Amino acid sequence: MKKPSRSRRDFLKMMPVPGLTLALSPGLVPFERSGPGANVHETPGKPGLASSVARSGPPKGRRVGIIGLDTSHSTEFTKLLNDANAGDTYHGYQVTCAYPQGSPGIWRNATNIPKFTELIKPMGVKIVDSIEELIKQVDAVLLETNDGAIHLEQALPVFKAKKPIFIDKPMGVSLADVMRQFETAEKYNVPMFTSSSLRFNDSVQQAANGEAGKVLGADTFSPATIEKTHPVLFWYGIHGVETLFTVMGPGCESVSCTHTENADIAVGRWADGRLGSFRGTRNGKYGIGGTVYGDKKNFIINVSGGYQNGVMVTADGGYKNLVMRIAEFFKTGVAPVRKEDSIEIYAFMQAAEESMQQGSAYVNLAETIKKARAANRGYN
C-alpha cells in the first residue's frame, strides 16, 4: 500500500491549528471534473451561456451574490437561477453580483477565475471588487470559492451582515475548520448549510426514501481527485461520501480507510451494526453511483453518464435539485441538511485520513469530533 505523500501528512498535522453507466442524453447535465485538462461545460451552440438567461431583475429580497468564480458551479447555478424560463421554480431568486477572487493557492484558479468571470457577465451579473461591496447589493450569498481554507474568512462578513449563506464543497480543510464555520454562523444567528449536489439527485433520494426498503448497507463510488492543500477525500471524494450518508443516514461510529495511488476504500461501521463503504477513484473510467442493499431489494444508484468533452455528466436533476433547495432555504431560513449530519460527514472523511496514517486501522468518529472541538477551544 502506498502511503499518502509527506505533504498531506504534514498538512494533517496542521489541521487543528489555524453501479450502472448511463448513455449520454440531452437530459444529462454537467458535473465539474477537477484536475489538469478539465473543461468547462458549454451549452451546445452557445459556449458558456444558458439557453435562456438574463430575465428582468429580481425584487429586493431576492438578490443573490456569488463569492468566488473559480468553479463551474458559479456559472451553472447562475444559468439556472437567471433563466428567463425559470418561472417560480427558484422563488424569484437571481444572481445579480459576483466577487471573482478565489484562492491563489489552487493552481487551476489562474485560468478558471478569468474564464468564469467572462462567462457569467452576459447572464446579467455585475462584477464587484470586494465582498463588502457585494454584501451591500444582495440579500443572500452563495460561497463558491473552491478553497476550503479561506471559507471562514470569506463567510465572516456575510455572517456579520446576517445574510443567509450556502457554502459549497469542500466546506473547509479540516473537521475543526468546518465546525468553526457552523459555530460562527450560530454566534451571529445566520442561516447556513452545505451540501454536495449528489445528496439531492433523484436516484439518491429514491434510495434514501425507501425504494429498497429498510437500508441494510450501501456501497458508493465517485472520483476522489486529490488537491494537496486539502485532506484526501475533502476535495472531490465528498460527492460519493455524501451519497453514502444520504442513503445510510447518520450514526457511523468508526471508519477504516485504505489508500493507494489510484484509489481509496473507506468502510464505515454504523452503531446498529450496518456497514457502508465508499470507493474513491483516480484512474480508469470515472463515474458516480452505487448500490443500496435493502430488505426488499437491492437498488442501483444511477448518477453519472461518464464524460462528455472532458466534463462529468450527471442525470436525474443534476444541479437543479440542489439549487431548488438553496432557493427554498433562502426564502425560509430553514436548512435542508442538518448541521449534525454535515459534521458527521466531515468527521468520517477526517477519520478516514487518520486511518490512512495508521495502516487502515478503524478510527472512532466521536473521538475525531472531540479532538476537533478541543482544537477550537478558545476560538472567537
Give the neighbor-by-neighbor strand order of the sheet with 63-67: 126-127, 94-99, 63-67, 140-143, 165-167, 192-193
Kindly list the structural domains of the chain, giving each domain's residue range(s) and its CATH number in brackets, ordered by start: 37-196 (3.40.50.720), 198-319+339-375 (3.30.360.10)
Report residue 376: phi and psi, to 5°: -90, -5
Query: What integer pLDDT is reported at residue 318 of this predicted model?
Result: 76
Q: What end-to-end distance do the CA atoms of the chain give, in Å?
A: 41
Query: What integer pLDDT is reported at residue 36 of this predicted model?
Result: 30
Angle (nearest 5°) at CA 370 between 367 and 373: 155
Query: What integer pLDDT is reported at residue 1 of this predicted model?
Result: 47
Per-residue cell: 357: 496514517
Give the separation between CA 125 and CA 141, rounded to whole angstroms.
14
Query: What integer pLDDT is reported at residue 52 of this predicted model?
Result: 53
Residue spans of alpha helices (H) in 255-357: 318-332, 339-357
Query: What integer pLDDT is reported at residue 35 of this predicted model?
Result: 38
Query: What integer pLDDT is reported at residue 110 of this predicted model?
Result: 80
Query: What integer pLDDT is reported at residue 165 of this predicted model?
Result: 98
Query: What integer pLDDT is reported at residue 380 of this predicted model?
Result: 58
Query: What integer pLDDT is reported at residue 106 of this predicted model?
Result: 84
Write the DSSP string, 285-306. S---EEEEEESS-EEEEE-EEE
The reported pTM is 0.85
Give the separation between CA 295 and CA 311, rounded to whole angstroms.
36
Buried-exposed string 87-118: b where 16+ CB fall within 10 A, e elsewhere: eeebbbbbbbbbbbbbbeebebbeebbebbbe
Mean pLDDT by 10 residues, the chain (380 residues): 44 37 32 36 38 69 96 94 96 98 80 93 97 98 95 97 98 97 98 96 95 98 94 96 98 98 98 98 91 98 63 66 97 98 98 98 98 86
